[in-house]
Structures are given as C-alpha cells and as structure tokens.
Amino acid sequence: MFSGRMIALKGLNVAIEAFYQISKETKAHLVFAGTGKEDPWKRMLDQRNVPKDDYTFLGTVPYQEMPWLYPLASAFILPSYSESFPMTILEAMACKLPVIATNVGGIPEMIDNGRNGLLFQPGDPTGLSNNLLKVLDDEGFASKLGERGRERVCEEFTSTKMASSTAEMYRKVLEVSA
C-alpha cells in the first residue's frame, strides 16, 4: 500500500517497477491512496502488462478513514526520493503495519532498519521488491516489524512526547542566545 501525493518525487515509478518484479514471483495487489493524477501511473502499469485486477487507485481517502485502511494491507511502502518527516510512516507504524521506505530525510530517525521497518536506497526497485518479498513471505517477520513499529511510535512519537521534545529544544536555544 502507498499513501501520499501521486507525484514523481514520491517514487511511484519505483513502486510500480518493484511491484512488476514481485508479481513474477508471488500474487500481490498494489493499492494507491492519495491525491493527484493517476493516469501516468496506470499507463506505466499497463506498459508492464500488470493486470488491472492487481492494482487499485483509491483516490483521496479522508484522513479519519486511514486508520481503517492501513490494517487491510500487508505492508506500507514509501519509495520517495526526498522526504522530511512523513507522518504517513508513523500512521502506518501505529497501525502495526510493516513499513518499507527509502533511506532519505528524516525516515531513518523513525525506522531502525530490520527492527521496526525496512529501508532501501531511493530509485532502487530491486531493493524495494526484495524487502517486500521478505515481508510477504514471512508472516512472523512482518508481524514483528509491525509490533516493533507500533512500540516505537508509542514510545517516541506521541503528541505529548513530541511537544515535550520541541519545548526542550526551544529552552536550550533560548538559554544559548541569552
């Protein structure tokens, strides 16, 4: 499952190529949720002869409905070329969904590779497909990633914890400048 804007910067070409690779080895279904133009991505899937029954574009999904959507997936992917601190990863982790994302921006601050999620290099569909196969082929491993992801969110990324950390940072900055 991918959730986000349907733009090239989000690495949808990588997701599609990785999906094409894994579709040769296992039965899977790719779901896209988000705003933007679907047609270029549908054309890319069609060019690879991916059957229309093997993917779904949901369009915009209201924010309050996402917690019901995440648990329906086997994994959450974010193959972005650039990110700051994507909340979609924290949302998926909070729902115990294994996360596979690129090693860019603030993502490595959220994901301890192999422990609570999996990382791969941007622009690497083989890295994404290999990680997807690890999750799809090993339910126990996928479950552990999901459990540890939720633990990480509950320990480090609650609104209270993040507000406290931000307030502490401001206190330190004010002390230095005083």
What's the pLDDT at 166? Answer: 86
What's the number of domains the chain is made of?
1
- The SS3 assignment for 66 reads helix
Cα separation, 62 vs 26, in Å, equals 31
> Does 178 have pLDDT greater than 70?
no
Cα separation, 171 vs 7, in Å, equals 38
CATH number of domain containing 66: 3.40.50.2000
Question: By C-alpha distance, which of 45, 74, 75, 72 is closest to 61?
Answer: 72
Which range of residues forms the domain containing residue 173? 2-177
Q: What average pLDDT does this structure show over 157-172?
A: 86
What's the pLDDT at 164? Answer: 87
Beta bridge partners, 56, equal 31
Q: Which one-letter amino acid corresponds to residue 112?
A: D
What's the pLDDT at 176? Answer: 78
Can you read off the two tokens belonging to residue 119? 């990382």
Q: pLDDT tens across 15-45, in order?
A: 999 999 999 999 999 999 999 999 999 999 9
Whether pTM > 0.75 for this model: the answer is yes
Give residue for tokens 């622009």: 123
What's the pLDDT at 159? Answer: 83
What's the pLDDT at 38? Answer: 97
